[in-house]
Amino acid sequence: MNAPPNLADLRNRAHRIEGKRDELVSRQAKVTEQLQEQNRFLAIADDVTNALEKLGNDVFQRQLTLIENTMTKALQEVLEQDIHFKANASFSRGAASVEFSILRGENTEDIMKGQGGSVANVVSVGLRMLAITTLDERRHRKFLVLDEQDCWLHPDLVPKLTRIVQEAGTALGFQVLMISHHDVNHFIRHADRVYRLSPDRGEGVGIEEIEADSPVEKDER
């Protein structure tokens, strides 16, 4: 006959089984709590998603309004006309697209054709300035090159654009290099430095710094 089990061994086995049971009960409680937390999250997930989308759209719309107001002011100051810059946004599959236009009274004008291209000149400068303010300063220098961005402007309006560029650059803390075929006299008042380049006549391209307080002859055309 087999010897009966030792009572002490039975007690030890019982304790081990009880410990395992307690461990499993604790794990079950944690899993149940996690499932309840996930269910609570899923219950509000749609509301949270909709709220975030609405918040994103609201922020985006406020940015567009800021752009509209800023560009309208610039256009009116440079062109001296009662026109308004409009930015109309549309959303498709989570992506936004923006269409720019000009309002003159009740009439909508193509931004690229307005005032023979003068509108496009001013808007192009403004949007570039706004864009550079969004760049990471650790990776990008605050430096903007405007290459003939006044090409369609009447000469009398060039100083107005130059003044806005100078004021914006100072306020936003970045340098601007303007390249233009207009007469240097249009830049004297609102530029820190003005250089006139002349064609190569066998001795290299001529570079002359124009002093703000010195008389300037008209550029030869």
Global pTM exceeds 0.85: no
Q: Is 104 part of a structural domain of the chain?
A: yes
Q: Is residue 41 part of a domain?
A: no
In a domain, 189, yes or no: yes
For residue 60, give its domain range.
49-210
pLDDT at 76: 92
32: how many CB neighbours lie within 10 A of its CB?
Answer: 10
55-94 burial string, b = 16+ CB within 10 Å, else e?
eeeeeeeeebeebbebbbebbeebbeeebebbbeeeeeee
Q: How far is CA 150 from CA 4, 155, 158, 162, 180, in A?
A: 106, 9, 7, 9, 7
pLDDT (tens digit per residue) in 107-152 = 888 887 766 788 889 988 888 888 888 888 788 888 889 999 888 8
What CATH number corresponds to the domain at position 178?
3.40.50.300
Bridge partner residues of 89 (DSSP): 98
Asked if the structure places residue 72 within a domain, the reply is: yes
